[in-house]
Structure 1
Amino acid sequence: MENELGILIKDKSDQHITTKGVFDLNTGEKSKRGISAWAIEYNDNHYFNLGYSNDVNHWGSYAKFDIEGKYCIIIIDDNSPYILQSTSQTYGGGLAGVLMAESLKWGKNWKDENGNKKRLLFIDTEDVQNRMMNRNESAYGNYFTKRQFNKILEETETVLTDEKIKDIEFDRIIELINKANKK
């Protein structure tokens, strides 16, 4: 949706903004539809609505895109703000709840050339999901998976053995995603 809306910022970093609300610039009233926007533009940067993520679900918070295209990427590491390293979804109490929440993260880390763990919030803009609850019909942004990586390898006509995939460096993944975006 293309609207001239304004936001009141509650918190921000180089990688995100969290809003107190989205407002109609003409009336000054809170925009009910504005909060469900898939992405927003702020200070000439584009930000993804974290409400459209199951892995990093935070309505009212937006993450700055690091890569935009058919495949959009948000890079998350240990230096990222807490809002990008957590989720507002709860899985119940006790050990079972903790294990369920942590199981979403298993196997989703990639290492850079210095051995630092990175996560990619990956959005395939062509994989559009139906409207559900507060979410409009849109593409979701979740942690980059091996299945998605295999799709990138196929699109870029890159052949790697399973052993090579386990050892692939973060920079090579970014390179392949950029290559896929150019096709």
Structure 2
Amino acid sequence: MRAGIKPETVIAVAADIADRNGWEQITLANVAGQLGIKTPSLYNHVDGLPDLRQKVATYAAELLRDLLNDAAIGQSGKEALIGVGKSYVAFVRSHPGLYDAINRIPEPKPARFEQASETILRLFGRLMQPLGIPQEESVHAIRGLRSMVHGFASLESMGGFQMPEDLFDSLSKSITYYIDGLSAKT
């Protein structure tokens, strides 16, 4: 194997391929080609394509977790949820292949992936606590907010918003309407 290739380099190259060319283009041959090595040399770092894709998805989930946590720092209430929503959409804009990796990770999901996903859910839950939503309703409220932000990001990535109004203004207003509606129910 060529000197200097580390496991994190393999994941970074695969992540770049995903973002530039799409999730399906993460193949052992494509990654090896980008690294300038023969495909069998990748087996020093991964146990095949499913393992490589799991590692990329884990990297993606941890990156998203960190970005969302950073967006929430120093904010509370509606502002925090809007900031997290904007960071979520910005992540999808910057890393479409990595976002796809999060949503299409092969089973079984690695523990680190599950931990990152759980941390994201806990963040949404913590940010929604001040709204006074009863505990038994919080899962539904979090799912609704996540669906809204995911749908927004997905529609934008498909070119679904053609009107000239600022997209982040639309996202902020949508989250505000959702939060205000939830707050009125409590």
TM-score after normalising by structure 2: 0.30
- Which structure shows the bigger proportion of residues in helix conformation? 2
Larger Rg: 2
- The structure, 1 or 2, with the larger RCO (C-alpha pairs under 8 Å, 6+ apart) is 2
- Which structure shows the bigger proportion of residues in strand conformation? 1
